[in-house]
Chains A and B, each alone.
Chain A
């Protein structure tokens, strides 16, 4: 029997991505943000999550993509050891079951910034779903802010 995994899917620049659902605390629509100009470039700002101050990481910046036209990024709030962190994505889609047997490691011709955060891919309804490794994204912001 094939084991199934639940993945929360989202879209960035037309591409289909996903994170393991167990890492997701909640999803939010666009939230007003306070920028932190001296922070690392991936950190877009801080959002007020019901009184809790949460750091937002712009996945577009991580993937070295230009800013989206409408700038209404949605928040995918991820659980981490240090409390929640939000990933900013273009659009949050459904939670789907993926078939573990369709999992493939990152294709060797996948280069650049995507390679840094993608753990592998699934095929979902003839589309390629790239599974984002939340910890890899968090590791990117561990480096001290470049001054």
Chain B
């Protein structure tokens, strides 16, 4: 009988095949979900009938369009399901495995059809025979059904036809993981096989929603007409009324349009039961997955982006999280582990939690691992909280698995999950209780195209900063600027809640001249931002307001600029650039490397801001020898020209904030001299201002070298009065000054009226 393929050629057929593939895909998803329901409730006739219908319609369409292999395979599947339906055969685990195998074969043939237009050259006769055998009895127990790899794994390694779709067709959607090489791969990989490009390019929209959108567009047209008339007759009241209407319609249209892009989480979670089932069998565990809030909706592109991370987390939960049934029973838990996936809306974000009731993660174990790898020093490890330690699992190259299993622990780990989630503006967090289980909590924004942003100005231009990265706004005024900001050779830091916060000047990053540099009296605006673990302050000229903005991508040629994420059009029609907070944070590292500053703390995670109580400022004395002062002794750092120094009664002084500030050249004082430095007008000095009981003293140095942490292994005895101890800092023997002692001695000498110490 001539089939359609011979009767029709070209476009008509192409359209038919396209529809056919989309239908198959949808059918398969249903098939898979129903099948797992069947495994739980093997007697349900309803579920069997539903599966039967799916397979039947695939078979019918395959015959119609002339795909004989598909028709043959589905025919046997249908026969088997028929037996189940009329009750002449029972649903055993072997039957379920056989049917799962059927799904894999159908999917493979579909991919082949989509890629090449043919069904591929693979021989399915063995599998067909297996399905036939299943219609009468379970296979011999010598091959336990659960361990039988589904026949999608062909025994012959040389395949003439690659199963993965050809790159030309899926080019716009490169698979996140390399397309699974089918021969040695476990069957658990099959659900993550590259999704069909065809089914991803279409979307089903509720007709009622579409009607509503059409109505809104109608209203929009009417409003436009009204406004056009307004501009002719110049009727102010009418103009206002129609503006308001326009505002309303736009908002509704925006919401409605968003809804068409929304998909329930179910679309991605429906594949998880299969993943859990296959994986549990493979690891010799028992596991089930419970899902809550599957109807929670998420933007298409986002749900695509979190598909792999979620599958990865679920795989991890089964592989690392859950214990073996024996261990579980020994601990008084039911043998079957439970993975729970919970999705819900909260505060304009979608939260997705994946939790297991397994082992939990032991922070002590993480600590050991981190120490082994040299990521932490003993001291740091001791001060870290369990929560901070748990965060270690997101570090690249971290794996707690004792042995690498086939499924996880292959190097790509939670760090990839984290960066994927963060790349879409989300966050991921872990919490765990030993013996009770682990929970991964993801926060995903509803959409990427419209975001809340803070608008700031720098150099007369406006910039948008995504709200998700925003921590706090700080405004320093007058004296507080000096107290709050310390400038270290172009690397500014600020005191922020007892810690030092690295500062980035937006003007400098973007190479723009400031509107007017803040002077002492002006305020400094700092936007505290969080990128990854790094918290930093962005100095901007002005903070404007918060707004909802529409994100537009930048031209391809501008994408290499790491500190820009996109652009948006503001209310006045002008364009504002959107800052990429992660890119700015990178710039922070760059600054450090370039100036060689702050390198002393490279041995610890960049996320750790300097603990002020341990920080030291490294200075060069007027005799060029290095000194260090604990930062807590430093109230201000100032730079002064030698010409501003005055001499009264043989003592150097300078005018400072309406007072006279006594100066002390430390290097000179230590060697019983008055002054070592050059007093020519062109020389500049760095003055460390120390304040005690309302009295200030200015310690004079040549320049500031660096800021370092007081984790000094080599300590020597104090060499002379005024020195706490000597230490090797950045490879040089450095005297750490005892400022209170210097101050006291200096005051004593004042009273004694002499220069002597």
Contacts of B552 in A (CB 8 A): 53
Which of B490-498, B531-539, B572-580, B599-607 lies at the binding interface?
Answer: B572-580
Known A43-B558, A46-B575, A142-B557; judge A38-B564 contact (CB<8 A).
yes
CA distance A36 to B561 in the complex (A): 10
In the complex, what residues of B have CB within 8 A of residue A92's CB? none
- In the bound complex, residues from chain A placing their C-beta under 8 Å from that of B569 are 48, 51, 53
A82 partner residues in chain B, CB cutoff 8 A? 555-556
Confirm or deny: B454 has a beta carbon within 8 angstroms of a beta carbon on chain A: no
Q: Are A55 and B558 in contact (CB under 8 A)?
A: yes
A135 to B563, CA, bound (A): 28
Of B461, B557, B563, B573, the residue contacting A40 (CB under 8 A) is: B557
B503 on the interface (CB 8 Å rule)? no
User: In the complex, what residue of chain A is closest to B558 when comparing beta carbons?
Assistant: A39
* Total A-B pairs, Cβ < 8 A: 56
Interface status of B6 (Cβ within 8 A of chain A): no
| Nearest neighbor of A47 in chain B, beta-carbon distance | B575
B574 smallest CB distance to A (angstroms) = 6
Contact count band on A: 20 to 34
List chain A residues, Cβ under 8 A from B573.
32, 48
Residue of A nearest to B510 (CB): A37
* Alpha-carbon gap, A82 to B559, bound state (A): 13
Q: Is A78 an interface residue (CB 8 A)?
A: no
In the complex, chain B residues whose CB is within 8 Å of the CB of A83: 555
Interface centre among B512, B552, B555, B574 (most CB of A within 10 A): B555
Is B567 an interface residue when CB atoms closer than 8 A count as contact? Answer: yes
B560 within 8 A of A: yes
Q: Which of A32, A37, A53, A141 contacts B557 (CB 8 A)?
A: A141
B615 to chain A, nearest CB (A): 31
> Cβ of A144 and Cβ of B560 under 8 Å apart?
yes
Please report which residues of chain A, range 101-147, place their CB below 8 angstroms from some CB of chain B when the two chains form the complex.
Answer: 141-142, 144-145
State in angstroms the CA–CA spacing of A65 and B567 once bound together. 29
User: Which residues of the other chain, B, contact A8 by a CB distance below 8 angstroms?
Assistant: none
A43 to nearest B CB, angstroms? 7
Q: Does A29 contact B (CB under 8 A)?
A: no
Residues of A within 8 Å of B577, CB to CB, are 34, 36, 46
Is there an interface contact between A32 and B574, defined as CB atoms closer than 8 Å?
A: yes
B557 and A34 contact, CB distance less than 8 A: no
Q: How long is the Cα–Cα vector from A39 to B156 in the complex, in angstroms?
A: 54
| A22 located at the interface, meaning its Cβ lies under 8 Å from any Cβ of chain B in the complex | no
Contacts of B554 in A (CB 8 A): 53
Decide: B511 and A37 in contact? CB cutoff 8 A: yes
Across the interface, do A37 and B512 meet the contact criterion of CB distance under 8 Å? yes
Return chain A residues, CB-CB under 8 Å to B557. 39-40, 43, 55, 141-142
Other-chain residue from A34, A37, A40, A85 in contact with B576 (beta carbon distance below 8 A)? A34
Q: A46 near B560 (CB under 8 angstroms)?
A: no
In angstroms, Cα B561 to Cα A47, docked, is: 18
B558 adjacent to A34 (CB under 8 Å): no
Q: A35 touches which one: B461, B555, B561 (CB < 8 A)?
A: B461
Contacts of B567 in A (CB 8 A): 34, 46, 53
Contacts of A43 in B (CB 8 A): 557-558
Residues in A neighbouring B511, C-beta threshold 8 A: 37-38
Q: Given A48-B575, A53-B575, A36 and B560 touching (CB < 8 A)?
A: no
In the complex, chain B residues whose CB is within 8 Å of the CB of A47: 575
- Inside 8 A of B574's CB, which chain A residues have their CB? 32, 34, 48
Nearest chain A residue, comparing its CB with the CB of B555: A55
Q: State how many angstroms separate the Cβ of B459 from the closest Cβ of chain A.
A: 8
* Alpha-carbon distance between A46 and B567 when the two chains are bound, in angstroms: 9
Q: How far is the CB of A48 from chain B (nearest CB, A)?
A: 5
Q: Are A38 and B510 in contact (CB under 8 A)?
A: yes
Among A36, A47, A141, chain B packs the most CB atoms within 10 A around the CB of: A36
Residues in A with CB closer than 8 Å to B560 are 144-145
A46 to B461, CA, bound (A): 12
Q: Please, which residue of chain A has its CB at the minimum distance from the CB of B557?
A: A141
Given contacts A48-B573, A51-B569, contact A34 B555 (CB under 8 A): no
Contact with B along A78-96 (1 / 0, CB 8 A): 0000110100000000000
Complex: A51 Cα to B574 Cα, angstroms? 10
Report the minimum CB–CB distance from A102 to chain B (whole Å).
34
Convert A20-44 into 0s and 1s, putting 1 for each residue whose CB lies closer than 8 angstroms to a CB of B. 0000000000001011111110010
Task: List chain B residues, Cβ under 8 A from A144.
Answer: 560
Give the residues in chain A near B561, CB-CB below 8 Å. Answer: 36, 38-39, 145
Q: Mark B501-526, 1 if CB is under 8 A from A, else 0.
A: 00000000011100000000000000
**Complex CA–CA separation, A47 to B574 (angstroms):** 8
Contacts of A51 in B (CB 8 A): 569
Q: Contact between B556 and A36 (Cβ–Cβ < 8 Å)?
A: no
Within the complex, the shortest CB–CB distance from A86 to chain B, in Å, comes to 11
List B residues 72-99 near A (Cβ within 8 Å): none
| B456 CB to nearest A CB, Å | 14
Q: Are A34 and B564 in contact (CB under 8 A)?
A: no
Task: Tell me which residues across on chain B come within 8 A of A37, comparing CB atoms.
Answer: 510-512
Q: How far is the CA of A47 from the CA of B512 in the complex (A)?
A: 19
Cβ contacts under 8 Å, A35 to chain B = 461, 512
Q: Which residues of A contact B512 (CB under 8 A)?
A: 35, 37
Cβ–Cβ contact B575 & A34, under 8 A? yes
Residues of chain A with a CB closer than 8 A to B558's CB: 36, 39, 43, 55, 145
Interface positions, chain B 458-516, Cβ under 8 Å from A, are 461, 510-512
Name the distance in Å between B163's Cβ and chain A's nearest Cβ: 33
Q: Using Cβ atoms and an 8 Å threshold, which residues of chain B touch A36?
A: 558, 561, 564, 577
B246 to chain A, nearest CB (A): 15
- A51 vs B567: C-alpha distance when bound (angstroms): 11
B461 lies within 8 A of A85 (CB): no
Q: Nearest Cβ in chain A — how far from B353, in angstroms?
A: 37
Most buried by A among B510, B557, B563, B576: B557
Tell me the complex Cα distance, A144–B559, Å.
9
Q: Which of A53, A55, A83, A85 is packed against the most chain B CB atoms within 10 Å? A: A53
Closest CB in chain A relative to B78 CB, distance in Å = 49
Interface centre among B510, B552, B558, B560 (most CB of A within 10 A): B558
Chain B 539-573 per-residue mask, 1 if CB under 8 angstroms from chain A, else 0: 00000000000001011111011011001010001
Question: Can you list 25 A-B pairs with a CB-CB distance of less than 8 A?
Answer: A32-B573, A34-B461, A34-B567, A34-B574, A34-B575, A35-B461, A35-B512, A36-B564, A36-B577, A38-B510, A38-B511, A38-B561, A39-B557, A39-B561, A40-B557, A43-B557, A46-B567, A46-B575, A46-B577, A48-B574, A53-B569, A53-B575, A83-B555, A144-B560, A145-B561
Closest 9 CB pairs of A and B: A34-B575, A55-B555, A38-B561, A144-B560, A37-B510, A37-B511, A46-B575, A53-B552, A53-B567
Known: A40-B557, A46-B577, A53-B554. 20 other contacts (CB 8 A): A32-B573, A34-B577, A36-B558, A36-B564, A38-B510, A38-B511, A38-B564, A43-B557, A46-B575, A47-B575, A48-B569, A48-B574, A53-B552, A53-B555, A53-B567, A55-B555, A55-B557, A82-B555, A85-B555, A142-B557
Mark A residues whose CB is within 8 Å of B: 32, 34-40, 43, 46-48, 51, 53, 55, 82-83, 85, 141-142, 144-145
